[in-house]
Amino acid sequence: MKVGPELAKDVTFKRRILDIVWTDRIELEEFEALWERLLVDFDLKSHKWLSDMYDWRHKWIPAYYRDKLMSGLMHTSSRSESEKNAYGHLTSIDLTLWEFYNHFDSVVGCQRFAQHKNDHDSLYIIQDMHTELQIEKEASKLYTRSIFFDVQTEIYAFVISCMSVLCKPAEDFYQCSCKRFESYGLLCRHIFYVLRFSNVKNFPKKYVLKRWSKDSLPPPSVIQVTGDSPDMISREIFSSVEYCVNRYANDPELLQKFRDHQVQLMAKADADVPIPTKTNKRDRIASILGVSQPEETIVNVPKQVNT
């Protein structure tokens, strides 16, 4: 933090500035008042860095874009930190191109595995419920696992500590003054509170954005899936295999039989479609760079000079 080492260690200062900056629950007027009070209390009115950050406040303070749809930027900080941890060691100026390529390939592989695991967990792991409400159970079936945890937090919050806010129906669509749905596409605890006392027991699907749901797919403009296209067939095969593995997971004998059957299918696939000769990484890098390796290497040995 560019406010000096002493102030950066001040717990009270850090708490107050974080409560002002990293929150989407305050209006512009409240932010302005809290920021001004912070500068006065800690004698920072003439602090250049804070003055510069205040001048750019409309670009980074959540209070200034509460009406903007920010669904694609959820958990930006945690995602950014994850990317830094994953790719940080790839940016060293001491790495050769060969080392960079190998490291990058490994990181991408790890991220793909994590994505597949998250997809699997969303589809097959049954989440623990925090309440007995039907609306929470239905939310667990509608949303992906990570998004459900966010929704579950709001459902639990309205049960134990919800405070009233201005919430009004607009053409059978609730709007809350906290504007959480408008910003992130997820319902807030206040609307859950109103839904409950409006005797709404089922999760209203009109509030579920497809991007957060379990059945989300890339837009048609990216992948065209029709009838018995190869892409559709591949998806069905992957889904059926994953389904079988999960059904047999608690029966070792059946799981082993299924494994043996898959090994036989793999052997048949190798016989039906011979595996092409693999290119090594050195050849792939040469292809990417648009160069070719010489058929023979000539090494010029310097002549020895008699002294």
pLDDT range class, residue 173, cuts 50, 70, 90: confident
- Cβ(231)–Cβ(223) below 8 Å: yes
Cα–Cα distance for residue pair 286/290, rounded to 1 Å: 6
The pTM is what? Answer: 0.56
CA distances from 21 to 31, 190, 224 (A): 8, 22, 43
Q: What would the mean pLDDT of 67-96 be, rounded to a whole number?
A: 59
E strand or H helix at 168: strand 167-169
Structure-model confidence comparison of residues 119 and 38, the more confident one = 38
C-alpha–C-alpha distance, residues 61 and 54, integer Å: 9
206: its two tokens = 């009109």
- The mean pLDDT value for 20-36 works out to 86
Q: What is the pLDDT averaged over residues 158-175?
A: 70
DSSP run (H or E) holding 258: helix 252-272
Given a cut of 80, whether residue 13 has pLDDT beyond it is yes
Token pair 């937090």 in the structure block, residue: 153
Domain locations in the chain as residue ranges? 5-66, 73-124, 134-212
Q: Say if residue 300's pLDDT is above 80.
A: no
Q: 260 — phi, psi (to 5°)?
A: -60, -40
Distance CA 129, CA 141 (A): 12
| DSSP bridge pairs for 143 | 213
Q: For the residues 255-273, what does the mean pLDDT come to?
A: 91
Task: Indicate the DSSP class of residue 295.
Answer: S
Q: Which residue has the higher pLDDT, 156 or 224?
A: 156
Contact 261, 268 (CB under 8 A): no
Range with lowest mean pLDDT among 17-21, 73-77, 173-177, 195-199: 73-77
Q: Helix (H, G, I), strand (E, B), or coil: what is residue 70? A: coil
Average pLDDT of the chain is: 78
Give 75-93 as a 3 state SS string. CHHHHHHHHHHHHHHHCCC
